[in-house]
Structure 1
Amino acid sequence: MEKQGNRWEARLVSHGGQARIAVYFEKEPALVDRIKKLRGCCWSRTLRAWHLPDNLTNRLKFGLASAREASVSEHIKQFRLWLRSRRYSDSTISTYCDAIGVFLGYFNDKEIEDINQNDLVLFNNRYILKNKLSSSYQNQIVNACKLFFKITSNTSMETELLHRPKREKKLPNVLSREEIKKILDTPVNIKHRMMLCMIYSCGLRRSELLNLKAQDVDSKRNVLIIRQAKGKKDRISPLSAKILLMLRQYYVLYKPQTWLFEGQVRGMPYDERSLASVLKQAVTKARINKPVSLHWLRHSYATHLLESGTDLRYIQELLGHNSSKTTEIYTHVSTKYLQNIKSPFDEL
């Protein structure tokens, strides 16, 4: 919002135990309509003002940023342009820019040029560990720092000395075939059922499903073409006769224009949050008391393939993994060979 005369005033306030930015102005429909569209904006009867999260973006928007914060914003802007020129994906760019913004914001009393690798150690202890944040988030901070300070001139940061957190070894979450069937049979809406079936039957990531177009379905060769997935790689996945028949019925009914799965507005892709909601409703109706996510369907697909005797090399290709080590984790959750092991307890 651009300030025009004395039409509004912004102040840093504490509301509900949180740092907020309160915006005061005479009631004007145009201004009310504009501020309501800002993310996280709420009306407070106590403050008698609209208020938003106190973050760098909003401080800049309402003229409350310090010279240092303005400098950080400019550096992040340049960082974003550099990442884009290197053709990083939009999601990776957002992740890295958000991460470096959090890190630089933590040291708001230091100039960027004075921040060094010891500050990252302090940040890990006083922010990451104190707030019990995940090691994957810590790794995102390290990745962002390595790239950001690599292109920042006159910096004290020695990026080669930055260390990563010890990698956690977690097993993928897998559902049984019976549980998968219950979830996929639950949705009454054909589009909802079709989306969940596609994720499981082809081992798709959420973004891969939502980026599919009608022409990516090759019915003559019975394959699905997954374009520019993670790592900017194309790959193909076999389509079963059953899923192909379902796709034909779905296409006749919905006639998608651009994307295979479109939202309420024709020509626009289905919303990822709505897709997550579709799964949540299906899991609830199927009476499965597990925190199932969309990625569980992909994990289950890989594990069920392995249990059916599919070679691990083919599963790696089907999932689009760079390394076979990533795919090998499914051998730890497969029950194919475990079921043949007889416990010595049974001999007692």
Structure 2
Amino acid sequence: MTLHFNCSPLDLDEEQILDYLHVLKSKNKTPSESFFKHTVYGLRYLYRIYELQKMRVVLPAIKRPNRLPVVLSCQEVKRLLKTPKLLKHRLVLAMLYGCGLRCFELRNLQLKDLDFDRKMLHIRQGKGNKDRYVPLSDLQIRGLKTYISAEHPRIWCFNGNHSEGTPVPLSTRGIQWIIREARKHSGIKKQVTTHSFRHSYATHLLEMGLDIISIKELLGHADIQTTLVYLHVAQLGRQKPFSPLDRLYSE
């Protein structure tokens, strides 16, 4: 797994681990069932040592987690995006939602990855995961141009605090702080994390008519099974689901 992602398993989120195990499980010739199980046992041991209980993986057949992802409504996303006072902080939230980025993908964004002419963002994954492109909205482009002109970031799209003059990317803790403050001041009661924006991105695209295969590619999933969870939370079909109470008292 370290070779696949070119980073420590401790730096991966639950979605990436499940996606990797789906690929591992779906291979026809290798690895064997025992190899697959040993991979999971090794991960469990690692995360237990580092007290990361939430990262434990279910054996033996990669059962999908019973928890459905937290998805924000469109109105809640709007409230979160307008809450921060600083343009930089609003853009951080806009990139997480508007491009469906993982936290480390946002941190690794560089100025050279922005293609305003083609309205595309280049997401560089490194070894194991292929690079991908996702669309940039006109709103994002306008905001990014204003931010870059005013702040003059170097190398990284969003610089973190540095004392020696060498640019460093915004830290994971910094991104989490921005989200936490936006949630607090917006009055939203849902638990909002970096991945809540990614979940909302995928769900809203599905509800807006984009097909599941395209969403899989935009999210950078290796296996379609990882993407199918959004079918359980998206409001799809010819008729929007409703509560019987809505009609019980209307007749």
Q: Give the TM-score category using the shorter length.
A: 0.7 to 0.9
Q: Is the 8 A contact 2:84 2:182 kept in 1?
A: yes
**Who is 1:71 aligned against?**
none
- RMSD of aligned C-alpha atoms? 3.0
Q: Deviations over 1:222-277 (max 9, x none)?
A: 10000116942200000111111111001111111111111122511111101101
Residue 174 of structure 2 aligns to which amino acid in structure 1?
Answer: S
For the residue of structure 1 that corresponds to 2:56, the secondary structure is: helix
For the residue of structure 1 that corresponds to 2:134, the secondary structure is: strand
Alpha-carbon spacing, 1:323–1:230, altered in 2? closer, same or farther (3 Å): farther
Whole-Å Cα distance in 1 between the matches of residues 127 and 201 of structure 2?
A: 18
1:192-211 matches, cutoff 5 A? 192-211=89-108
**Who is 2:8 aligned against?**
91
Higher relative contact order, structure no. (Cα contacts within 8 Å, ≥ 6 residues apart): 2
- 2:199 aligned with 1:288: no
**Who is 2:158 aligned against?**
261
Alpha-carbon spacing, 1:310–1:133, altered in 2? closer, same or farther (3 Å): same
For the residue of structure 2 that corresponds to 1:310, the secondary structure is: coil
Whole-Å Cα distance in 2 between the matches of residues 191 and 342 of structure 1?
A: 39
- 2:145 aligned with 1:248: yes
For the residue of structure 1 that corresponds to 2:230, the secondary structure is: helix
1:137 pairs with 56, 80, 104, which one? 56
1:338, distance to aligned residue in structure 2 (A): 8.1
Over the matched positions of the two proteins, sequence identity in percent amounts to 38
Q: Deviations over 1:145-197 (max 9, x none)?
A: xxxxxxxxxxxxxxxxxx57755332111000000111110001111111111
Residues matched between the structures, number: 212
- 2:227 aligned with 1:327: yes
1:50-69 matches, cutoff 5 A? none
1:18-97 matches, cutoff 5 A? 86=3, 88-92=5-9
Whole-Å Cα distance in 2 between the matches of residues 166 and 328 of structure 1?
A: 13
Residue 151 of structure 2 aligns to which amino acid in structure 1?
Answer: Y
Q: Deviations over 1:7-43 (max 9, x none)?
A: xxxxxxxxxxxxxxxxxxxxxxxxxxxxxxxxxxxxx
Q: Is the 8 A contact 2:160 2:171 kept in 1?
A: yes
For the residue of structure 2 that corresponds to 1:237, the secondary structure is: strand
For the residue of structure 1 that corresponds to 2:158, the secondary structure is: coil
Whole-Å Cα distance in 1 between the matches of residues 100 and 156 of structure 2?
A: 19
1:335, distance to aligned residue in structure 2 (A): 1.8
1:203, distance to aligned residue in structure 2 (A): 0.5
Q: Deviations over 1:48-75 (max 9, x none)?
A: xxxxxxxxxxxxxxxxxxxxxxxxxxxx
For the residue of structure 2 that corresponds to 1:173, the secondary structure is: coil
Runs of 5+ in structure 1 lacking a partner? Answer: 1-82, 96-116, 143-162
Whole-Å Cα distance in 1 between the matches of residues 241 and 65 of structure 2?
A: 27
1:306, distance to aligned residue in structure 2 (A): 0.8
Q: Is the 8 A contact 2:235 2:241 kept in 1?
A: no
Q: Is the 8 A contact 2:114 2:121 kept in 1?
A: yes
Whole-Å Cα distance in 2 between the matches of residues 132 and 91 of structure 1?
A: 14
Alpha-carbon spacing, 1:171–1:267, altered in 2? closer, same or farther (3 Å): same
Residue 90 of structure 1 aligns to which amino acid in structure 2?
Answer: C
Whole-Å Cα distance in 1 between the matches of residues 126 and 78 of structure 2?
A: 27
For the residue of structure 1 that corresponds to 2:200, the secondary structure is: helix
Q: Is the 8 A contact 2:4 2:129 kept in 1?
A: no
2:200 pairs with 291, 300, 303, which one? 300
Residue 173 of structure 2 aligns to which amino acid in structure 1?
Answer: R
Whole-Å Cα distance in 2 between the matches of residues 196 and 281 of structure 1?
A: 11
Structure 1 or 2, whichever has the larger Rg, is: 1
Whole-Å Cα distance in 2 between the matches of residues 308 and 318 of structure 1?
A: 15
Runs of 5+ in structure 2 lacking a partner? Answer: 13-36
Q: Is the 8 A contact 2:122 2:134 kept in 1?
A: yes
More divergent stretch after superposition (327-336 vs 204-213): 327-336
1:336, distance to aligned residue in structure 2 (A): 3.5
Whole-Å Cα distance in 2 between the matches of residues 244 and 311 of structure 1?
A: 25
Q: Is the 8 A contact 1:208 1:229 kept in 2?
A: no
Q: Is the 8 A contact 1:216 1:226 kept in 2?
A: yes
1:326, distance to aligned residue in structure 2 (A): 1.5
